[in-house]
């Protein structure tokens, strides 16, 4: 199997093949894997104009028609699952087993959206709250917000694009999408499938482009919502320049996991190995900080080190590979520098820490000072830091001592500690008995503090992509 030699972009539902190309490399070999059409600012302007023109036709689509589009997509993704998984493996360097998992989530996301498309409702309001309001009653319905702008990241090129595209179709919103320049192929395959449907002309555009051509995705006043997934630095800058449009940001994190003294250590180790090193730790909810009760610290540390040492690293196309390449060598070099800096500051490398090109070993450290980037910033790679605690409430405070607040994991069997964690942890989600990396595509997902604004998850994204429209009726002479 191999990628197509060249992929078109999609402008106003139609494939276009301009002369400019963006090269997509195989992230493991570094070799050219495909070329995709590259959009310029003029193409983006045309796409936004087409989305504006499609606003009313999209809003007029009946719920069952939106549902049919989404169901068609889910069916076609099932038929093309092997192709989609292979493209992920090549363009993102994601191990093939994990790539198949992301394809299954892509399908889930569109299926969930198909169901939600027919459940967008409203509410009847009792307005007779005082004599002044006698004879008045009301109701509201949710209506599409209008043309949306989406910017998706490299680490989940299919499913994180789907978390914007699918709810937009369910809500009846036209959209323009900029996929990550390093991993545009998956989004373009989604565009190919959408082009098979009866969506109104201009309903969607999927436009790979360089950052210097992408300004309109953020600043154009014709767009009513900007949804961005990516780094905190970029996300907050986009928000500052977005103008009056609504902004949803799903940004970074340095997710923490608390392991109390009463848990099944074998289970906790198995889950944390996945949470820390799945797809080379390139996830905003990857386990980065592990806080372990002093009574089980030594045993848990030794088990983690043993398990990490058994992970197979190599070609992501091989079935047994668990750790593939990082997205590029510059990112691998950055994280290697962070590891060396932590060592120089007194941290101890327990396992891993060595780099070979884009490959970085699964790495665990302890005794790392809190001001080091491996503790304070987002590592976004196969690295986790261990530390001890003796007081559960102090551990909660330590989790909160972060600029980020996306999700946190807590391994404990104490129901009172579970309640305290849910009450006190300053995060968007608390995962009990598992790692913060756990997610299903129907749940509300997002963070607080530097981790972002708003929530994804289909039903919650639809809320952002729609607005309540009120109707008030007066009944004269009502006694």
Instruction: Return the active site residues.
Output: 250, 284
DSSP state of 381: S
Measure Cα distances from 417 to 268, 318, 346, 391, 405 in Å.
17, 42, 32, 11, 19
Closest by Cα among 233, 179, 229, 211 to 378: 233
DSSP state of 33: E
The residue behind tokens 């799945």 is 278
CA angle 83, 89, 93 (to 5 degrees): 160
Cα distance between residue 217 and residue 48, in whole Å: 9
**Which helix (DSSP H) or strand (DSSP E) does residue 227 occupy?**
strand 225-229
DSSP string, 77-138: HHHTHHHHHHHHHHHH---HHHHHHHHHHHHHHHHHHHHHTT---EEEE---SSGGGTTEEE
Closest by Cα among 206, 209, 223 to 12: 206
List the beta bridge partners of residue 290: 257, 386
Phi, psi of 299 (to 5 degrees): -65, -45
Taking 3-state DSSP, the helix, strand and coil percentages for the chain, each rounded to the nearest 5, stand at 40, 25, 35
Cα distance between residue 421 and residue 259, in whole Å: 12
Closest by Cα among 207, 251, 247, 250 to 224: 247
290 within 8 A of 259, measured Cβ to Cβ: yes
DSSP state of 434: S
451 within 8 A of 408, measured Cβ to Cβ: no
Determine how β-strand 363-366 pairs with β-strand 204-206.
unpaired
80 within 8 A of 106, measured Cβ to Cβ: no
Residues 6+ apart with CB under 8 A from 147: 48, 51, 52, 54, 55, 173, 174, 175, 176, 222, 223, 224
């Amino acid at each position: 199997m191999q990628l197509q030699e060249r992929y078109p972009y999609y402008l106003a539902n139609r494939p276009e093949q301009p002369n400019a190309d963006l090269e997509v490399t195989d992230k493991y070999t570094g070799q050219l894997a495909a070329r995709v059409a590259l959009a310029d600012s003029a193409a983006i302007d045309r796409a936004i104009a087409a989305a504006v023109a499609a606003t009313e036709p999209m809003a007029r689509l009946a719920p069952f028609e939106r549902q049919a589009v989404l169901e068609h997509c889910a069916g076609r993704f099932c038929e093309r699952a092997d192709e989609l998984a292979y493209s992920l493996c090549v363009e993102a360097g994601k191990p093939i087993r994990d790539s198949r998992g992301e394809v299954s989530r892509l399908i889930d996301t569109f299926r969930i959206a198909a169901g939600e498309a027919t459940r967008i409702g409203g509410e009847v309001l009792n307005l007779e709250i005082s004599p002044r309001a006698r004879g008045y009653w009301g109701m509201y319905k949710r209506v599409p917000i209008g043309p949306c702008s989406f910017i998706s990241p490299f680490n989940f090129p299919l499913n994180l694009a789907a978390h914007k595209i699918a709810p937009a179709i369910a809500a009846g919103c036209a959209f323009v999408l900029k996929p990550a320049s390093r991993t545009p192929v998956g989004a373009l395959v989604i565009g190919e499938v959408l082009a098979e449907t009866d969506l109104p002309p201009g309903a969607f555009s999927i436009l790979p482009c360089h950052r210097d051509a992408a300004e309109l995705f953020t600043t154009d006043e014709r767009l009513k919502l900007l949804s961005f997934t990516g780094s905190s630095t970029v996300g907050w800058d986009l928000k500052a320049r977005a103008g009056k449009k609504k902004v949803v940001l799903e940004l970074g994190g340095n997710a923490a996991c608390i392991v109390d003294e009463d848990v099944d250590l074998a289970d906790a180790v198995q889950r944390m190995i996945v949470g820390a090193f799945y797809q080379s730790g390139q996830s905003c909810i990857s386990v980065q900080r592990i806080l372990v009760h002093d009574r089980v610290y030594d045993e848990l540390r030794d088990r983690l080190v043993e398990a990490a040492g058994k992970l197979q690293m190599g070609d992501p196309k091989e079935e047994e590979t668990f750790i593939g390449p990082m997205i590029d060598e510059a990112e691998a070099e950055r994280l290697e520098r962070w590891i060396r800096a932590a060592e120089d500051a007194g941290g101890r490398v327990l396992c891993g820490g060595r780099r070979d090109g884009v490959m970085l070993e699964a790495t665990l450290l302890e005794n790392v000072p809190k001001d080091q980037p491996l503790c304070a910033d987002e590592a976004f790679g196969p690295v986790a830091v261990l530390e001890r605690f003796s007081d559960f409430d102090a551990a909660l405070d330590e989790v909160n001592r972060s600029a980020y607040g996306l999700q946190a994991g807590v391994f404990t069997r104490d129901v009172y500690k579970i309640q305290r964690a849910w009450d006190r942890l300053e995060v968007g989600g608390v995962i009990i008995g598992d790692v913060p990396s756990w997610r299903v595509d129907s749940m509300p997902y997002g963070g607080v503090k530097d981790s972002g604004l708003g929530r994804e998850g289909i039903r919650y994204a639809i809320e952002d992509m729609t607005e309540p429209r009120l109707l008030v009726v007066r009944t004269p002479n009502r006694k």
